Amino acid sequence: MSSFVLICAQAIGVVVLADFISGLVHWLEDAYGTETTPLVGPLMIRPNIVHHHYPRHFTKLNWWQSSWDLVLLGIVLIGATAWADVLTWHVGLFVAICVNANQIHKWSHQTRAENGRIVSFLQDMHLLQTPRQHGLHHTDPKNTYYCPITNMVNPVLEFIGFWPKMEAAVEALTGATRRTDTSNRGEGPVPAWVAELRRTSPTHVHDLSSAHRPAAMKATDAERS
Shortest Å distance, C-beta 138 to Zn ion: 6
Whose Cβ is closer to Zn ion: residue 53's or residue 120's?
53
The region of 28-36, 90-98, 186-194, 205-213 touching Zn ion under the rule CB under 5 A is 28-36
Angle between helices 89-99 and 63-83 (to 10 degrees): 160
DSSP-H helix ranges across the chain: 3-32, 40, 46-53, 63-83, 89-99, 101-107, 112-124, 131-137, 153-159, 162-174, 192-200, 202-206, 214-224
The region of 27-35, 67-75, 94-102, 162-170 touching Zn ion under the rule CB under 5 A is 27-35
Q: What are phi and psi of 118, to 5 degrees?
A: -65, -50
How far is C-alpha 4 from the geometric centre of its chain's CA atoms?
Answer: 31
Residue 50 engages Zn ion in binding (rule: CB under 5 A): no
Residue 131 engages Zn ion in binding (rule: CB under 5 A): no
Residue 25 engages Zn ion in binding (rule: CB under 5 A): no
The region of 8-16, 23-31, 57-65, 76-84 touching Zn ion under the rule CB under 5 A is 23-31
Residue 147 engages Zn ion in binding (rule: CB under 5 A): no
Of 169, 145, 143, 158, the closest CA to residue 218 belongs to: 145
Residue 30 engages Zn ion in binding (rule: CB under 5 A): yes
Question: Which residues in this chain contact Zn ion in the complex, by CB under 5 A?
Answer: 30
